[in-house]
Structure 1
């Protein structure tokens, strides 16, 4: 069952926010919205969406999520490019989680690119 509020942290329900991207009705118009929708996909366990929005050159063959990990909150720390008129962009973020009763976070600067007119996750910068 999808959550009522969107896991990505923006105002609105999951259905009105990232759920519309997960359902395939729309694609994320910016790199940040794709990042947020991918975080939400991790939170709701939507591996199909994660693979679909991964660049074909860096996408794994399959993706298995850890059922003991719960993604709890997303903070956007910064961004470059990634807008409506860009072809590349980065989104720096901190993703909070609970794993087997312990809190933690993942901090990353993700790179995004347009492929066939749609934003996709490319990789993470060290």
Structure 2
């Protein structure tokens, strides 16, 4: 259990350092060719990983009437939902072996993370 917490804390520290060092860009242009010039630092999201929950803070770029863009999410290759690719893979493997409840128990025992029934 201490090893998993150490890995989680190392990942959190890495993400925190990236957030502090993230440079504000003058403009971010999305695939829709719309320039997003308004930058809002400090936007946070939770991410459940195989060794626990971490918080990712980053700059969000906005423009009126279009979706926001987060450059750091793309650089870190973060999934759209709550669960990391590693945790999703573990959930799929555990679910293939039995019921969803058994998979939830196996994931909680292996990682300390409780997954819900809805995709995240």
TM-score (norm 2): 0.29
Higher strand share: 1
Q: Rg larger in 1 or in 2?
A: 2
Higher helix share: 2
TM-score (norm 1): 0.28
